[in-house]
Structure 1
Amino acid sequence: MVTLQAVQAHNGALRSRATGLVAVFVGGTSGIALSTALAFTRHTTAPRIYLIGRSRSAADTAIASMKNINPSSQPFFLQSDISLLKNVDKACAEIAAREQKVNLLFMTPGVMTMKGRQETAEGLDRKFVLHYYARMRFIYNLLPLLREAARQRALSDGTRLSRVVSVFDPMVSIRAGGSGTLDFSDLSLKKTFSLQRCGAHASLMGNFLLECLAHLQPQTSFTHTYPSGVATGILREVPAGRFLSALMTPILKPFMVPLEESGERHLYAATSPRYPPKIEGMTPKEDACLGSDGTKGSGCYWVSWDGEEFPVNKKMEITRQQDAAERVLQHTEEVFNQICEQGKTYP
């Protein structure tokens, strides 16, 4: 376990080391993304911060907090419903028009729902888009800016910072005895959707595409993190969600990670040299975590709430051996091509 004291020591040193970093927080007006954005604001000098979300009033409150915490910060809000990939493209185009680099892409969008498949105008399920397709589209669109960040020294010690952090849970597919498998005949779950399958597919597909991108983009590191239980207000879209939250939070509080601590821990995940990119010479490999493929410093990391990597899992290894990364990559690019380039629905 990476102790909270170690996390705080690392983060506290950033202010004297990190100047002018650019960060994008998707889902950034609430919950873990906002808590991490506030920690990022607190511990860096003159950061440029993009919050992407739906609520302008929540964003106004967040931006006021950031300016109060750190007057040198430059926060911006991009209002967008990213359950549509065309809106992801629009938000990314606006960032690209303003910035020459992005040091950190941090993503938490999602929805808690008891409903079944909710198909968007683009032919995908809304929940699946938020947990997977939109996140991957942000990465694809911002890769040129992430590559530029990798070419520049970000910290005073000469370290570069080009990192993607996706917060969900790398181990959804095997929890409670899950199989850890993908249905390669229906990756988008157009025909076989269920909430359980959606969670498993979104998690596994995110795992393997991030791993694939770590090989294709070795100057950027990719981390999929499990936040554990955090009171983020995610129940707000569930019927009687406020009541359930008020009822359950006091009971579960002793087993949950406080929101502010989660933000500090995720800032650590977003900036620590323990999770370096694959390319040699960018960070000390001896300090690196074990990568998702079992290789130290591989550039892709599946990380628990306490900063430690998850051990290699036999069920997921079987899925990996079915060319999962390549098949997920092919499917995802097919979806992007059909929806974003051709302007059609999928399939």
Structure 2
Amino acid sequence: MVALNAVKAQNAALNTTLAPGLVAVFVGGTSGIALSTALALARHTVSPKIYLIGRSQPAADDAISTIKSINPSATPTFLKSDISLLKNVDTVCAEISAAENKLNLLFMTPGYLTWKGRDETAEGLDRKFVLHYYARMRFISKLLPLLTAAAQDPDPAGNRLSRVVSVLDPIVAVRLGGTGKLDYHDLSLKNTFTLGRCGAHASLMGDFFLEGLAQKHPQSSFVHAYPSGVNTGVLRDYPIAAAVMSVLARPFMVPIEESGERHLFAATSGRYPSQSEGKFEGDIAAGSDGTKGNGSYWVSWDGESFPANKKLDRIRSGGAVEKVASHTEEVFRAVCEEGKTYP
């Protein structure tokens, strides 16, 4: 476990270890873990440019007011969008790309709690699945040029941090004896959807898509982070369930401010370097394939990498990286480039 005092100490030093003007995008950034991390970033850096992406203007107004009260030098911007549609993801990314020539951090937490079955969007994809997987990977794909530009910043005084953090659960598919299997005949779960399968597929596909990106884009690092229990307000539409969980889960919950500090650590620490950052000495995390510094990290709430798992290793050896990437690119091509529904 990375001790909280060590996390706070490293975060507190960011105002000197990072140059002014770091650029960060927070998807799902007006509440919960993303907002708590954005506030921590504002607290510890000089003149950050913070983009918050979400659906609620009132929540965004409150978030921006809080950021400015914490750090008057910060420049927060809200981009309102329903990113359960990939075409809207492309629009938001185009706005960011028009305004910025580099991006240091892409931090993503979108999702929602539902008891419904498959809820198909106009693009032919399940809404929950989009928020947990497809939209996140589309953000990365569209913003990679800016992330690469940050890593290659020619200014010796600039920030070369180039990192993606996707907050979900990298090992949910193998928890409690889960099989950890991917259905390659129906990766989008068009015909075999259940909420459990959706959670497992989104997690596993995120694992291996990010691992593949780390291989193809060694100048950036990619973190798939498990948040543990955090009171983010996800049960606000279910007050009875929220009240029960607040009592039962309290001993296992991570306070929201601590969660923000820990996720800022995951987003900025040299413990999770890109492949291209050179020799890996000292406190470097094991990557998703067990290799230190491989650029792709499956990280628990406490900053430690998850240990090797035979089921996940078996999925990788069966070609998961290539198969997931091929499917995802097929979805993006059909929906985003050709304007079709999928499949």
Deviation at 1:247, TM superposition (A): 2.5
Q: What corresponds to 2:252 in structure 1?
A: 255
Q: What corresponds to 2:174 in structure 1?
A: 174
Query: Are 2:150 and 2:159, in contact at CA under 8 Å, matched by a contact in 1?
Result: no
Secondary structure of the residue aligned to 1:23 is: strand
Secondary structure of the residue aligned to 2:254 is: coil
Among 276, 279, 291, the alignment partner of 1:279 is 276
The answer for unaligned runs of 5 or more in structure 1 is none
The TM-score with structure 2 as length reference comes to 0.97
Query: Are 2:25 and 2:50, in contact at CA under 8 Å, matched by a contact in 1?
Result: yes
5 Å-filtered alignment, 1:295-310, equals 295-310=291-306
Matches of 1:298 and 1:139, distance apart in 2: 18
Aligned residues: 342
Deviation at 1:244, TM superposition (A): 1.3
Matched, 1:92 2:93: yes
Large movers: runs of 4+ above 4 Å: 153-156
Query: Are 1:153 and 1:159, in contact at CA under 8 Å, matched by a contact in 2?
Result: no
Deviation at 1:250, TM superposition (A): 2.7
Matches of 1:235 and 1:295, distance apart in 2: 38
Q: What corresponds to 2:57 in structure 1?
A: 56
Q: What corresponds to 2:124 in structure 1?
A: 123
CA displacement, residues 107-144 of structure 1 (integer Å, 9 cap, x when unaligned)? 00011110000000000000000000000000000000
Which AA in structure 1 matches 2:257?
E
Q: What corresponds to 2:308 in structure 1?
A: 312
Matches of 1:13 and 1:154, distance apart in 2: 21
Which AA in structure 2 matches 1:144?
P
Secondary structure of the residue aligned to 2:24 is: strand
Secondary structure of the residue aligned to 1:301 is: strand
Q: What corresponds to 1:7 in structure 2?
A: 7
Instruction: Report the identity percentage.
Output: 67
CA RMSD of aligned residues (A): 1.4
Deviation at 1:287, TM superposition (A): 3.0
Deviation at 1:236, TM superposition (A): 3.0
Q: What corresponds to 1:212 in structure 2?
A: 212
Query: Are 2:280 and 2:292, in contact at CA under 8 Å, matched by a contact in 1?
Result: no
Deviation at 1:175, TM superposition (A): 1.1
The verdict on how the C-alpha distance between 1:284 and 1:319 changes in structure 2, with shifts beyond 3 A counting, is closer
Deviation at 1:243, TM superposition (A): 2.1
Q: What corresponds to 1:132 in structure 2?
A: 133
Matched, 1:265 2:299: no
Matches of 1:299 and 1:287, distance apart in 2: 14
5 Å-filtered alignment, 1:127-206, equals 127-152=128-153, 160-206=160-206
The TM-score with structure 1 as length reference comes to 0.96
Query: Are 1:335 and 1:346, in contact at CA under 8 Å, matched by a contact in 2?
Result: yes
Matched, 1:293 2:294: no
Secondary structure of the residue aligned to 1:141 is: helix
Query: Are 2:30 and 2:56, in contact at CA under 8 Å, matched by a contact in 1?
Result: yes
5 Å-filtered alignment, 1:307-346, equals 307-346=303-342
Query: Are 1:82 and 1:88, in contact at CA under 8 Å, matched by a contact in 2?
Result: yes
The verdict on how the C-alpha distance between 1:130 and 1:197 changes in structure 2, with shifts beyond 3 A counting, is same
The answer for unaligned runs of 5 or more in structure 2 is none
Deviation at 1:246, TM superposition (A): 2.0
Secondary structure of the residue aligned to 1:196 is: helix
Query: Are 1:273 and 1:284, in contact at CA under 8 Å, matched by a contact in 2?
Result: no
